[in-house]
Structure 1
């Protein structure tokens, strides 16, 4: 006797998951992070997510853990764990605001800044590898479409 739960529903067998835009974007994103970590781990001893977070703090784009969480689409506890790991390594510090003691800002240490300064070259190298064979126009068009998708999604 065949187990009814082992037969795919008709709507499942007709849906081509591998052709889903969301799936493809997710796979490309995962590939970018993995390729980045393949570079950052042996060179810097950190993951690409950690290097990216250091870059965001050093550049002033994210000065609070909550801003890192929003920027990366992660929950507050994941952002806290990321900051904890960077702080433990001596790459980042938490600085309590003197005007409002409830606010804790993030700051890179000199060692963290040195790593953050190396990240753009790594980002560029990974992007060039991933988009090898794309023309400048194709890359521009891809970026334009992704920006529009972000706007359509509310930011």
Structure 2
């Protein structure tokens, strides 16, 4: 009898699907990084610049949107500041914190960045119908919800039905 996940799907299929999702993410990031290389920024730096252009100035909020921690955000801001794309200044409402601001050069770069992500997405989803894209987006949202949900009783790092 084959092992099954809590949803009744064969564990081998679940693990293979997870591996494919990981590979798609890696390959998509590689493609985006290559497309952003002429602009001298990484995908994470570009995402920060675009969020800052929309008014997000708190390093803590930026960090959560970008999936990094405080140390990672500091390094990211250091690199962008060295490139002349952002500046940091004291928050006038709370002198213990800083705000991130785009420089003139950073503001000029932002309009070139968003289309890169769009081209990568179009390339990724080439040949899919609108219905397929809607279905995929719905499934990916459910996956994110599953990951962000509180862990269940079987939170020891293994799916139910797998050998311990």
Equivalent residue in structure 2 for 1:19, among 16, 23, 26? 16
The 1:144/1:34 distance shift into structure 2, 3 A limit, reads: same
Equivalent residue in structure 2 for 1:28, among 16, 20, 24? 24
Paired residue for 2:102?
108
Cα distance between partner residues in 1 of 2:131 and 2:13: 29
Paired residue for 1:39?
35
Structure 1 runs of 4+ with >4 Å offset: 14-18
Cα distance between partner residues in 1 of 2:26 and 2:63: 17
- Asked whether 1:136 is paired with 2:130, we answer yes
Equivalent residue in structure 1 for 2:93, among 94, 99, 105? 99
Point out where structure 2 has 5 or more consecutive residues left out of the alignment: 1-10, 150-164
Q: Which structure dedicates a bigger proportion of its chain to helix?
A: 1
Normalised to the residue count of structure 2, the TM-score between the two structures is: 0.75
Cα distance between partner residues in 2 of 1:65 and 1:139: 33
Normalised to the residue count of structure 1, the TM-score between the two structures is: 0.79
Cα distance between partner residues in 2 of 1:88 and 1:103: 20
Cα distance between partner residues in 2 of 1:109 and 1:127: 28
Write out aligned runs for 1:56-135 (5 A).
56-60=51-55, 62-135=56-129
Higher mean C-alpha deviation, range 66-75 or range 126-135 = 66-75
Which SS does the other structure have where 2:95 is aligned?
coil
Paired residue for 2:4?
none
- Asked whether 1:54 is paired with 2:49, we answer yes
Which SS does the other structure have where 2:94 is aligned?
coil
The 1:26/1:66 distance shift into structure 2, 3 A limit, reads: farther
Say if 1:51 and 1:115, in contact at 8 Å, map to a contact too: no
**Larger relative CO (CA 8 A, sep 6+): 1 or 2?**
2
Paired residue for 2:148?
154
Q: What is the RMSD computed on CA atoms of the aligned residues?
A: 2.1
Point out where structure 1 has 5 or more consecutive residues left out of the alignment: 1-13
